[in-house]
């Protein structure tokens, strides 16, 4: 299945104003978070990617055009560097389609602009390009197929740094509870979609704000309640947390390490 990644966001909360790097290109370890996400899909057998570019498109293009497999794989060097034998590979079997979908364009319109690159595949993945998880991809696909739905989204608990505040009629605080203690779910940014989603998506519209409510009103959009790992990278604090997990070797999304691929 193809994987559509929306990777043209500004990421204003995590970058300096004059830094020309789109949020998916901020690194975890020595690779962008976008790469980590793509490796996760690839580890599950999904190696055809469609990148919806916007802000910082050139940065993303150049990164892959100048890609160095030796940065994350062992290798043998001979003849003073004239010959390099890779002992592993990251992206050799990937197919990546780069599509400039414009600046200040809603996610839904970005999706519409890459529809022709989906080759009419009945189902495909979609993602925001800056969120890491151990989402059960195959089970999410089965959920959509079995229900005849047009899509499903990963529904996750809010980060534990958020608290809800109960307030009485006189504006007195009655209590404070962690959001994780409540039966609340937020959109985790991982989608499985069918071509049917385009029946609910008009030009210039948003995927979640416009198309999803229409499909949901028809009973055709689902949610996968995920109890596993999920972490966005919207702030420097969140990035530091992901960095620490990566360097500890205990990063739930790095399934390729456990299967013997790439860096040991």
By CB atoms closer than 10 A (0-12, 13-18, 19+), residue 185 is middle
Q: Which residues of the chain have pLDDT under 50?
A: 12-14, 16-17, 262-264
What's the rounded Cα separation, in Å, for the pair 104 and 156?
27
Where would I find the H helices in 174-222? 212-217
Tokens of 13: 């909360």
β-pairing, 186-194 vs 123-127, is antiparallel
pLDDT at residue 176 in the model:
87
Question: Which positions ≥6 away from 38 have C-beta within 8 Å?
Answer: 3, 5, 49, 91, 94
SS3 103: coil
**How far from the centroid of its chain's Cα atoms is residue 42's Cα?**
13
What's the rounded Cα separation, in Å, for the pair 61 and 136?
29
Tokens of 233: 């990278």
Q: What is the pTM of this model?
A: 0.88
DSSP state of 159: P
Where would I find the H helices in 148-222? 212-217
Question: Which positions ≥6 away from 32 have C-beta within 8 Å?
Answer: 24, 25, 26, 63
By CB atoms closer than 10 A (0-12, 13-18, 19+), residue 77 is exposed
> Tens of pLDDT along 158-186?
876 677 888 988 888 888 887 667 778 99
pLDDT at residue 157 in the model:
87
Kindly list the structural domains of the chain, giving each domain's residue range(s) and its CATH number in brackets, ordered by start.
Answer: 2-258 (3.90.550.10)
Round the CA-based radius of gyration of the chain to a whole number and report it. 20
What's the rounded Cα separation, in Å, for the pair 209 and 229?
25
Which secondary structure element, helix H or strand E, spans residue 75, and what is its range?
strand 75-78
pLDDT at residue 70 in the model:
84
Planar angle of CA 249, 4, 142, nearest 5 degrees = 80
- Phi, psi torsion values for 24, nearest 5 degrees: -60, -10
């Amino acid at each position: 299945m193809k994987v559509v990644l929306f990777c043209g966001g500004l990421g204003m909360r995590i970058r300096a104003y004059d830094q020309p790097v789109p949020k998916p290109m901020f690194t975890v370890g020595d690779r962008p978070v976008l790469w980590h996400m793509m490796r996760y899909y690839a580890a599950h057998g999904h190696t055809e990617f469609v990148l919806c570019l916007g802000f910082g498109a050139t940065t993303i293009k150049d990164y892959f055009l100048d890609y160095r497999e030796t940065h994350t794989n062992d290798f043998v060097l001979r003849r003073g560097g004239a010959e390099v034998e890779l002992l592993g590979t990251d992206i050799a079997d990937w197919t990546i389609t780069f599509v400039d979908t414009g600046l200040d364009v809603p996610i839904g319109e970005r999706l519409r602009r890459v529809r022709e690159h989906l080759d009419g595949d009945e189902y495909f993945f979609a993602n925001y390009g800056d969120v890491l998880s151990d989402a059960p991809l195959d089970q999410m696909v089965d959920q959509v197929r079995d229900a005849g739905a047009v899509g499903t989204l990963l529904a996750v608990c809010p980060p534990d740094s958020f608290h809800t505040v109960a307030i009485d009629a006189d504006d007195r605080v009655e209590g404070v509870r962690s959001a994780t203690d409540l039966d609340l779910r937020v959109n985790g940014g991982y989608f499985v979609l069918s071509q049917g989603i385009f029946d609910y998506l008009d030009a210039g519209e948003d995927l979640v704000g416009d198309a999803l409510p229409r499909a949901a009103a028809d009973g055709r959009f689902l949610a996968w309640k995920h109890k596993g790992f999920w972490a966005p990278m919207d702030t420097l604090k969140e990035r530091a947390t992901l960095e620490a997990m990566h360097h500890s070797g205990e990063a739930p999304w790095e399934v390729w390490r456990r299967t013997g691929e790439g860096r040991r």
